[in-house]
Amino acid sequence: MKIRHLALLSLTLAAQAAHAGRPLATEDADVLERGACEWESFAAHARADGEPSARGWTTQVGCGIGWRSQLALAYSRARSDGVTGEGLLLGGKTQLIPRDDQRTGWTLAWGLAGAKEDGGSFEHETSYLNLVATHTLAEGLTGHANLGWVRSESADASSTTWNLALEKAVGAGVDLMGEVYGDDRSDAWLGLGARWTPHERFSVNASWARQGGSAGTTLWTLGFKLAF
């Protein structure tokens, strides 16, 4: 796995951490209230067909800042074949229309990220904007949809991104979820996840995702979230 690819993997993990609905890669439209914060961390294992596996971790703190907005800062490290890449992301969300049982919630998410290769320094790598919708489809069933734009400085290219996800509460604090997501330059991903909330301020989560194509990548994650 090339160093640049590893640095971008660490950025991918950081971007996933900035999403409030982990273990989904899909963003949700809910926003933290002013003064409410969350600490979230997870470990990940990725393997592209025919490439060495990569292992990484991400930690993030996000807080509501008022004005129906929140900010989050995430840091990630990933390592493969003796090479380390790092990612740093500042992300935010501003709620445009709050959601309720009958009304779809709409939110605008954004982020700026930097990547660092072995022996180098952090450089601006990614910028993104994402329009997010969340709707209660039935009791215990929630749907999310994203449509976004992302700019990669290393690739000197912009992409249109999309996500669709479902979450189902099955009882005893357990939520099951599935999603599909991708962009206009690569094959789509299929993801499955589970989240267990034994306490209102603490949850654990796990996910599996697979990218299609002849050289598809499989990604596993295991993490937790603490609200304070």
CA torsion 27-32-36-41 (nearest 10°) is 0
Q: Which residues contact 138 (CB under 8 A, 6 or more apart)?
A: none
Residue with tokens 């790092």: 86
Average pLDDT over residues 8-18: 54
Distance CA 111, CA 7 (A): 17
Residue 113 has pLDDT above 50, yes or no: yes
**What is the reported pTM?**
0.91
With bands split at pLDDT 50, 70 and 90, how would you rate the model's confidence at 13?
A: low
**Beta carbons of 63 and 40 less than 8 angstroms apart:** no
User: Considering its fold, how many domains does the chain have in total?
Assistant: 1
Q: What percent of the chain stands above pLDDT 70?
A: 90
What are the DSSP calls for 49-86, one per residue?
Answer: TTS--EEEEEEEEEEEEETTEEEEEEEEEEEETTEEEE
Q: Give the helix/strand (H/E) hosting 5.
A: helix 3-17
Range of the domain at 70: 3-45+54-227
Please report, in angstroms and rounded to a whole number, the separation of the first and last CA atoms in the chain: 38
Residue 170 has pLDDT above 60, yes or no: yes
37-46, 53-62, 83-92, 138-147: which has the highest mean pLDDT? 138-147
Output the DSSP codes for 171-217.
Answer: ETTEEEEEEEEEETTS--EEEEEEEEEEETTEEEEEEEEEE-STT-E
Longest dimension (CA), the chain: 53
pLDDT, average across residues 26-34: 95
- Flag whether pLDDT at 103 surpasses 80: yes
* DSSP label of 102: S
Which candidate, 38, 72, 44, places its Cα nearest to that of 57? 44
What pLDDT shows up at residue 7?
A: 47
CATH of the domain at 143: 2.40.160.40
